[in-house]
Structure 1
């Protein structure tokens, strides 16, 4: 397809959509409920946790910027294509790692949806899980367009709710936040916590790749990557500040969000916040499944076959989500995050973060930038990617 025939991308699509997509996959995997923040940052104390979060944010921005530029350079807009360029014959190592990690993420969001339905609305855990599965399947059936609309409007809703959350928290127990930050609690472990958290979460960037087609230049890709870190971490910073008021007890809560909402004593907002968490979980699940669908679709196109149809996306998403949800029901939310995420942090550091900041940077620096303009929605990897 001649890129001149492609509609000119909007400012939102070029600079903000990639960050919104990255945030979408990161937030519902754990920190929408506060469980991830409790696991990786509360042990370092209120001040150490904040520093660790800022470190993770900077790592995200750096890795996203490099990854976005590398993906555009190689015209690789699904993770299979990109890691064949980055790792060569060893790309299959990332494929296996990512598939396992994706199942873990889907299990976490399924468990969180079940826990919310049970604790807030008194429903059987499987009811919330099945509702989330149905919503994810509905969004991903429409491919990138469905995911883009979800990320656009879902993110706006999430930011507004977190803003109200901060206002109500300050009004309810804001006097506890300042003393907690200046309490002199040791900050041990903030570097390990920040790096580990950033390493396993940054793999969410592979869900962003289909939306990088809208970048019209390497400058677009770099700016979008730099913005991805703050866009993804802003709600976490707000949430952690509120959690700090109840350090260290909040570290043992399965749903820190529910713990804080109960102390605000605003029943209507508790319902709104839980709806926001559901939207966050939906964004994460939809981002993961859409990335998997795009990987399969691009492989089909490479073989001269049409890309996935809506029915094909439905057939892939349903068993993937149901299987992950079953695993979540057997393990539980806290154990999933505590045991699974930490291990994958080290795996992703080796198979993704280190290669992209070495091999990826070298390729971007020494290679000629691709022509200006957005890429077609589907098609084989371009000439640059095949060298």
Structure 2
């Protein structure tokens, strides 16, 4: 399961050094984070015109954590999450795997619930058929291996990114005056006791949820050559997440405080319902594909973690058939969890998972991670800020890769 990642020869392009990590990160995050619009309502739009502070809070937290993760990867030549966690929390690195599995099942539960609602509302497909179909498709895609998984995810990412821009333009072209009026009148939060700090802290909590996605982007940092590469990669990652959130936030604010949108399980679907059936059908197909792609990525991450832990106990990793069976079981559990509904899963499950990730991964990054960047000895052959980096890691820093997720 493990394989060495050597330092790339030659001079990697600016795209690989600065842009690629953020794009890989977004490819995993985009379906679960943006597709329904429920997350934007729960963590930003419910604060009215203060909600933009939440999105900025998410951007700031992700940019800071991304810099710490990327710089630790570059400096210590460790490009997979377990090696990094061993640097940060030593023998307790397995707690991250446990949290990832719990959070991953919760996120997949949201995706299943969303996919069922979307297909029922757009194409009148019964929810149970969508759920069974999703289990079958994910298992088949995973059976055929990583290459198919990556193609599946990248296609959905490009399509949904384009779709978000088009959907936002469509909504704001018609409802732009309502958006302007809400900001002109300083539309208050739904909860009158909410403050600016309530909005900012909500964005920080939401940003912490993304800590489970950093393992996907870490291998890309093998292309980094200097500290500035880590910095600009982090900034790029932050805005790639924040921009779609801003687009969704502004679209929701064009309808604020309409309960038909803010209380909907899938606000995007409600916002587009008056623009003709073809828009809703395109949205359903597009987002359904992306939700499926994100589910594939999350299950693949879970399978990687199961295989690696089996190897730790002296067992053989999962076979191709074992991957398919384990994926199906995971998705069935997620289907059961999805019965709680999107609103409760996002409000409670996501928040609990975010706090767990912040404690297990975020706080060590802000403490020992900062100390290692400032005082720690870099990997052998790494000049620290842009010299040639060798392939030999420093003590305690692993050089293996356990997959993209």
What is the TM-score with the length of structure 2 in the denominator? 0.82
Corresponding residue number in structure 2 for 1:43: 46
The whole-number CA distance in structure 1 between the counterparts of 2:77 and 2:302 is 18
Corresponding residue number in structure 1 for 2:324: 314
Q: What is the deviation of 1:95? A: 2.7
SS in structure 1 at match of 2:36: coil
**CA deviation vs aligned residue, 1:266-297 (integer Å, no higher than 9, x gap):** 32222222222123313322332232333345
Task: Pick closer, same or farther for the CA change 1:243–1:353 going to 2, 3 Å.
Answer: same
Corresponding residue number in structure 1 for 2:268: 257
After superposing the two structures, state which structure 1 stretch, 362-371 or 190-199, moved more.
362-371
Partner residue of 1:171 out of 170, 173, 189: 173
CA contact (8 A) 2:182 2:253 kept: yes
Q: CA RMSD for the aligned pairs? A: 3.2
CA contact (8 A) 2:28 2:153 kept: no
Q: What is the deviation of 1:156? A: 1.9
The whole-number CA distance in structure 2 between the counterparts of 1:40 and 1:176 is 21
CA contact (8 A) 1:34 1:239 kept: yes
The whole-number CA distance in structure 1 between the counterparts of 2:250 and 2:137 is 31
Q: What is the aligned residue count?
A: 380
Whether 1:385 aligns to 2:388 is: no
Q: What is the deviation of 1:178? A: 0.7
The whole-number CA distance in structure 2 between the counterparts of 1:64 and 1:2 is 20
CA contact (8 A) 2:54 2:202 kept: yes
Whether 1:291 aligns to 2:301 is: yes
CA contact (8 A) 1:20 1:152 kept: no
The whole-number CA distance in structure 1 between the counterparts of 2:331 and 2:304 is 16
Q: What is the deviation of 1:186? A: 3.6
The whole-number CA distance in structure 2 between the counterparts of 1:211 and 1:147 is 17
SS in structure 2 at match of 1:254: coil
Q: What is the deviation of 1:239? A: 1.3
Q: What is the deviation of 1:199? A: 1.5
Q: How is 1:1-387 mapped onto 2 (pairs within 5 angstroms)?
A: 3=6, 12-45=15-48, 47-141=49-143, 144-186=146-188, 188=195, 189-213=198-222, 215=224, 219-249=228-258, 250-263=261-274, 265-298=275-308, 310-328=320-338, 330-370=339-379, 371=382, 372=388, 383-385=395-397
Q: What is the deviation of 1:36? A: 0.7
SS in structure 1 at match of 2:273: helix
The whole-number CA distance in structure 2 between the counterparts of 1:139 and 1:288 is 13
Task: Pick closer, same or farther for the CA change 1:297–1:77 going to 2, 3 Å.
Answer: farther
Task: Pick closer, same or farther for the CA change 1:86–1:272 going to 2, 3 Å.
Answer: same
CA contact (8 A) 2:100 2:302 kept: no
Q: What is the deviation of 1:237? A: 1.1
CA contact (8 A) 2:30 2:157 kept: no
What is the TM-score with the length of structure 1 in the denominator? 0.85
CA contact (8 A) 1:24 1:287 kept: no
Task: Pick closer, same or farther for the CA change 1:126–1:365 going to 2, 3 Å.
Answer: farther
Q: Structure 1: which 5+ residue stretches go unaligned?
A: none
The whole-number CA distance in structure 1 between the counterparts of 2:8 and 2:312 is 22
Task: Pick closer, same or farther for the CA change 1:215–1:241 going to 2, 3 Å.
Answer: same
SS in structure 2 at match of 1:184: coil
After superposing the two structures, state which structure 1 stretch, 184-193 or 213-222, moved more.
213-222
Task: Pick closer, same or farther for the CA change 1:302–1:17 going to 2, 3 Å.
Answer: farther
Task: Pick closer, same or farther for the CA change 1:94–1:254 going to 2, 3 Å.
Answer: same
CA contact (8 A) 1:254 1:334 kept: yes
The whole-number CA distance in structure 1 between the counterparts of 2:59 and 2:200 is 12
Q: Structure 2: which 5+ residue stretches go unaligned?
A: 190-194, 383-387, 400-405
